[in-house]
Structure 1
Amino acid sequence: MNLILKLLGRRINIIRNRIRYIDYVKGLGILLVILGHIGYGSDYIYIFHMPLFFFISGLLLSNLETKDAIQFLSSKIKGILVPYLVFSIISFIWWAMIERHLRDQSIPVMKALLNIFIPYVGASFIYNVVLWFLVAILFSYFFVFFLVKITNNHGFIMGLTSIFVFLLISQINEPKIFELSIAFSGGQLCMTAGYIIRKYKIGDLKELENTKNIYLLIGFLSGLFGIWIAHYFNHDAVNMMNNSYGNLLLFILGAAAGIVLIFSLALILNRINLPVLSFLGINSLVIMAVHDPIKRIVIVVIAKLLRQENEVVRHEMFPALLILILVTIVSSVAAIIINKYFPFFLGKGKKRKLIN
């Protein structure tokens, strides 16, 4: 990664006011997202990788009760809807002009185009399936914001309301339009949990940096065990994109276990400076948005070079890890270029700093 930065002539900017372990959490999370989408270990990764990002988003919210509705909502629309539209249009053009002629699976071009503006989770996202997340998280932000306002920021009432809505919507396959079934079920549940834990248990996020190593080790091992339990009894049942959770208690256990696991690992790694991991965390939104089309190309190339079927290289350890590395590198280069030359893709008016 440092070599890539040097080759592009990008000077590393030090951002001293960021919380490094939060960037590590995001960095680890985006690596798991890519690996899960490649196909290796996805039955374990899907248990918690998307709940992790909804949880982090809630954790980073603060003082919602005092924030103006128009200002908050407009900031989220600008920071999420603009990247969604930009990357949807770019992905659609690539798919419509080139990729759809090379893939067996296809849908009518007009249906895929309309899906950009009236998103409907499922095959309609064929041009870049991961973009469902941006729509879902936007509406999850809306839900949590108004939940705070309606309940007067009362944590207990917020928690009960969030759980009740989750139990209700998670049993309904519709409406999938605008990803509302995801946003109002698992999405808002994990985001609300992050917000409540931040407000009533953590407060200053930097306090967690002082957690003793023995507690972090216990958290790491407990997280692994919880994921194993959730996988064993709720095997292949969790897929947030499809609003599928299987046993709801086991979903909550697996999501919580994965969150504890990744936070514990990030806090352990926080003892050392890992600029590459910080970079991935800071640029996780861009990498999330661009990696899926890149992944499909890399899988085909690696399969041809190894003279194996696509599905084989996706599910074997060493080819899958090679694909992960290559996709991460190419996606990171894309992030550098976008931040340097096209910051408006992200709803930004100026260059963003790339690394902590």
Structure 2
Amino acid sequence: MTRSRINWIDFGKGLAIFLVLMGHVLLGLYQSEKFPSWNNVLLVIIAQLYIFHIPVFFALSGYFFKPLSTIKEFFDYAKKKTIVLGIPYIFYSIIHFCLQKIAGTTVRIPTTIFDLINIYKQPLGVSWYIYVLWSILMIYGLLSIVVKKRRMLLLISALAYCSTLFVQSDIYIIQRTLVWGVCFLLGSVLSEIHLDRMDAKKFLLFFIPFDLIYMSAWFLFYEVDSKKDYVSYSNPGLWGIAFVVCILFSFILFPKIEKNCPKVFNYFSKYGKDSLGIYIIHAPICSMLRILMLKMGINSVFIHVIAGILLGWYLSIFATYIMKKIPILNIVLLPQKYIKLK
């Protein structure tokens, strides 16, 4: 049975992947240590983006999640999800490794062949999202056979998140699944609630002061030590409350964009359908653009930001388009089209 598309979900994925790309461009500039006078500005924008895009991405991915009925259904489901997410995960990891070898000494933290072999326990680069999403789908898919109510699953995921406030695991997949399951399950629960009927303007009266307070607190406690994470994705602690607020705001606002800003809505909706392809392609493209511009002696942060975002965005879209046209590459984006999953 083919799942019908929901326009505002596509819009949300398109906007989120654009913000992910923007965040990685700015983060690359910050971590390059080539623009020290801009560190504070870059760091504040990065922190703002990082409490929004990936949490919303997880929630949008969880929107269509439904509890499973039997072990047999779970095995069919697990097979499908493993193939659909596993192929792009492996593809990205290989591309990441190869491009780092090409870049040579310009890479800050080089990837070894052993890192590539060990992607089953430690993902490379941005592929961590695919890795953790797969884990969440497996764990909560299996759990849903027993726990049928989504709100109960959300409660379990919230308790799992709270456990990370006190105890952290060194095992990557465990720690990240405990952290991100709550965003995924929140998206599933919100699919049953008509947040689109809420008045976005009234929510803004809450969201704007909250965001100002959050960013002020973050600046005081995080920016003091530039070696700390801008926003920790492995152990966000109480700062993770901002993830939930951003998800709620998004699910209230996104359905209203179609009517109020149709051109913006249609633009990002179009690319939301290709969000996975853009996601796995954008990171190496943006990295290579930054390295190339630095080698060319371009030292203007404005040129790096504008060129990095625009060229990174449209080259990622173009690369995804090319992949869709070549069957041997399109299998990365749509494995279900070429591999029998049932």
Q: Under a length normalisation based on structure 1, what TM-score does the superposition of the two structures give?
A: 0.76
Cα distance in 1 between the residues matched to 2:106 and 2:286: 15
Q: Which amino acid letter does the alignment assign opposite residue 279 of structure 1?
A: K
The answer for the alignment partner of 2:136 in structure 1 is: 140
Matched, 1:51 2:55: yes
The answer for the alignment partner of 2:174 in structure 1 is: 180
**One of 71, 74, 87 as aligned partner of 2:79:** 74
The 5 A counterparts of 1:260-339 are 260-271=248-259, 272-273=262-263, 274-303=265-294, 307-308=298-299, 313=301, 319-339=304-324
The answer for the alignment partner of 2:115 in structure 1 is: 112
Post-superposition offset of 1:257: 2.3
Cα distance in 2 between the residues matched to 1:170 and 1:114: 32
CA contact (8 A) 1:35 1:324 kept: yes
- After superposition, the Cα gap between the structure-2 partners of 1:334 and 1:224, relative to the gap in structure 1 and judged at 3 Å, is farther
The answer for the alignment partner of 1:197 in structure 2 is: 190
The answer for the alignment partner of 1:251 in structure 2 is: 240
CA contact (8 A) 2:61 2:184 kept: yes
After superposition, give the CA deviation of every residue in 1:83-138 in whole Å (9 maximum; x if it has no partner).
Answer: 10112112212222x1233324335x23322233x3325xxx3xxx1011110110
Cα distance in 2 between the residues matched to 1:349 and 1:58: 19
After superposition, give the CA deviation of every residue in 1:47-106 in whole Å (9 maximum; x if it has no partner).
Answer: 23211111111112135347810111111111111110112112212222x123332433
Cα distance in 2 between the residues matched to 1:268 and 1:196: 20
Cα distance in 2 between the residues matched to 1:238 and 1:159: 27
Q: Which amino acid letter does the alignment assign opposite residue 174 of structure 1?
A: S
Matched, 1:87 2:68: no
CA contact (8 A) 2:68 2:74 kept: no
Secondary structure of 2:82's aligned partner? helix
Cα distance in 2 between the residues matched to 1:224 and 1:301: 38
Matched, 1:20 2:24: no
CA RMSD, 1 decimal: 2.8
Matched, 1:103 2:103: no
Cα distance in 1 between the residues matched to 2:152 and 2:175: 22
The answer for the alignment partner of 1:162 in structure 2 is: 157
Secondary structure of 2:236's aligned partner? coil
After superposition, give the CA deviation of every residue in 1:296-325 in whole Å (9 maximum; x if it has no partner).
Answer: 1222344466731xxx62xx5x64233211
- After superposition, the Cα gap between the structure-2 partners of 1:240 and 1:53, relative to the gap in structure 1 and judged at 3 Å, is farther
CA contact (8 A) 1:30 1:284 kept: yes
Cα distance in 2 between the residues matched to 1:223 and 1:191: 21
Q: Which amino acid letter does the alignment assign opposite residue 25 of structure 1?
A: G
CA contact (8 A) 2:100 2:107 kept: no
Cα distance in 2 between the residues matched to 1:255 and 1:64: 27
Q: Which amino acid letter does the alignment assign opposite residue 336 of structure 1?
A: Y
Post-superposition offset of 1:230: 2.5
After superposition, give the CA deviation of every residue in 1:272-295 in whole Å (9 maximum; x if it has no partner).
Answer: 254431222111111111111111
The answer for the alignment partner of 1:216 in structure 2 is: 200
The answer for the alignment partner of 2:215 in structure 1 is: 231
Q: Under a length normalisation based on structure 2, what TM-score does the superposition of the two structures give?
A: 0.79
- After superposition, the Cα gap between the structure-2 partners of 1:95 and 1:119, relative to the gap in structure 1 and judged at 3 Å, is farther
Q: Which amino acid letter does the alignment assign opposite residue 134 of structure 1?
A: I
Cα distance in 2 between the residues matched to 1:276 and 1:155: 32
The answer for the alignment partner of 1:345 in structure 2 is: 332
The gaps in structure 2 that reach 5 residues or longer are: 27-41, 223-228
Q: Which amino acid letter does the alignment assign opposite residue 308 of structure 2?
A: I
CA contact (8 A) 1:80 1:134 kept: yes
Aligned residues: 306
After superposition, give the CA deviation of every residue in 1:15-59 in whole Å (9 maximum; x if it has no partner).
Answer: 994211111111111111111111241111112321111111111
The gaps in structure 1 that reach 5 residues or longer are: 1-14, 352-356
Q: Which amino acid letter does the alignment assign opposite residue 187 of structure 2?
A: G
Q: Which amino acid letter does the alignment assign opposite residue 268 of structure 1?
A: K
CA contact (8 A) 1:172 1:181 kept: no
CA contact (8 A) 2:161 2:182 kept: yes
Percent of residue pairs identical:
22
